[in-house]
Amino acid sequence: MQLGMIGLGRMGANIVRRLMRASHACVVYDKDPHAVAGLAKEGAVGADSLADLVAKLEKPRAVWIMLPAGEITENTLNALRDLLEPGDIVIDGGNTFYKDDIRRGRALAERKLHYVDVGTSGGVWGLERGYCMMIGGDKETIDHLDPIFAAMAPGVGNTALTPGRPKDDRAAQGYIHCGPSGSGHFVKMIHNGIEYGLMQAYAEGFDILRHANSDQLPQEQRFDLDIADIAEVWRRGSVIQSWLLDLTSAALAGDADLKEYSGTVADSGEGRWTVMAALEEAVPADVLSASLYARFRSRERESFADKLLSAMRHGFGGHVEPKP
């Protein structure tokens, strides 16, 4: 199958590579011509403009936008709306606010264009591990794009099937059709809100372990613990093992003091949107709210826990700390 990809950053470029490994054809565009040239050398078809990308795609066209949420994605969608033809498909794989998806899906439908929102998780490791995808849009369009999603997804692999679920189940493969426009990014938004809470729990726990030899404690209650060893042993059979713990262990093994991190932790929007959704639904979200506020606090004073949060974000997504 053929796909156009707009945005060749950390995830966009690797999605293209994973698709080409599965023998899908990709036409690529980015404002950076070097990024386009690099993937063209690997087998993609390069385009020097949005119009050129559209012209090189077969009908019905499928165009995936992998850009930061907000103005740049909005402008790209507006430009594509005038270039594409009825029956073509626009896919937004970034972390867009789900209410924007609902609005965009309605506007594009007026032009007889199909809109698909894909919450995409996998970060810089997606090329090798595959991408977990939460997809919104109409069923017929999602089914048409299934070869693309199946190639991007991790597949069952070595993960044990949940009892009662068939092996060919999309969810077991690593992707699902959540519902109409906006539902994919809504589910991904909550996913990222949960991610905030999990990361904060690990960060605070290891911060307590690191300060177990504090001179504020009675001598007999002081423990000089090797937190890198603790992270590693918890990866082996404990009930709190996870990929985030894997990344934590790797970061601590490299430098138990995390000296390269300042501890200033950014938030990319989804945590705020999750808390907003909780307010709208009158659903208590104590942990998720507190984890968001902890990131705000990190910009005023940092701690070892904040450094560990930065290390985890760098580990799974290649996120660098904001410059002061």
What is the set of active-site residues? 188, 195
User: Distances in Å between the alpha carbon of 101 and those of 55, 76, 151, 202, 250?
Assistant: 25, 14, 24, 33, 37
Structure tokens of 158?
Answer: 């070595």
Distance of alpha carbon 2 from alpha carbon 146, whole angstroms? 12
Name every residue whose Cβ is closer than 8 Å to that of residue 75 and which is 6 or more positions away in sequence: none
In 120-259, alpha helices (H):
126-129, 139-144, 146-152, 170-173, 183-210, 227-234, 243-254
Distance of alpha carbon 261 from alpha carbon 257, whole angstroms? 9
Distance of alpha carbon 65 from alpha carbon 305, whole angstroms? 34
Distance of alpha carbon 134 from alpha carbon 127, whole angstroms? 17
Distance of alpha carbon 94 from alpha carbon 318, whole angstroms? 15
The amino acid at 161: L
- CA angle 212-253-226, nearest 5°? 25
Three-class SS state of 80: helix
Distance of alpha carbon 117 from alpha carbon 180, whole angstroms? 9
Cβ atoms of 295 and 267 closer than 8 Å: yes
Cα dihedral 65, 66, 69, 72 in deg (nearest 10): -60
Cβ atoms of 118 and 93 closer than 8 Å: yes
